[in-house]
Amino acid sequence: MTQSYTGGCACGTIRYATPHAPLFQNHCQCRDCQRRSGTGHGSWLTFAARAEMAITGEATQWEVAGDSGNLKVHAFCPVCGTPVFLRFAAMPELIAVPAGSLDDPGRFAPQVLTYSMRGLAWDAIDPSLQAFERMPAG
């Protein structure tokens, strides 16, 4: 078993932990990630066992259709506003957390860049990462 992944919001109101390793780690340049991060991309770790992600505290949630048209449910701390997790209506077993919310953000190891078609010239991403114009299938 891998070391648990733990993290939460800036003020400590929301905390999460999972004993599982992420199945996908990516930088995403979709417009939603740009707007939410206030910069050129979001950085995410996606876990397969949402049911095994322990979350303490009550997050505020809002829904938005992503570039794919699929509904995403964003959760953030109602006290400090930190994004803490993301769920996908089309894939309810998955949960993603922002890399910056990890207790040890150095554990984030991006595998790919998604939605490169939305990339901004000033948001340089590691050119060695495989880039996808959209979200890769399966």
Question: What is the number of H-type helices and E-type strands within the chain?
Answer: 1, 11
Residue 2, pLDDT score: 67
Does 136 have pLDDT greater than 80? no
pLDDT tens column, 104-134: 999 999 999 999 999 899 999 999 998 888 8
pTM attached to this predicted model: 0.89
What are the structural domains of the chain?
5-118 (2.170.150.70)
Q: How far apart are CA 116 and CA 41, in angstroms?
A: 10
pLDDT tens column, 45-72: 999 977 789 999 999 999 988 767 788 8
CB 28 within 8 Å of CB 129? no
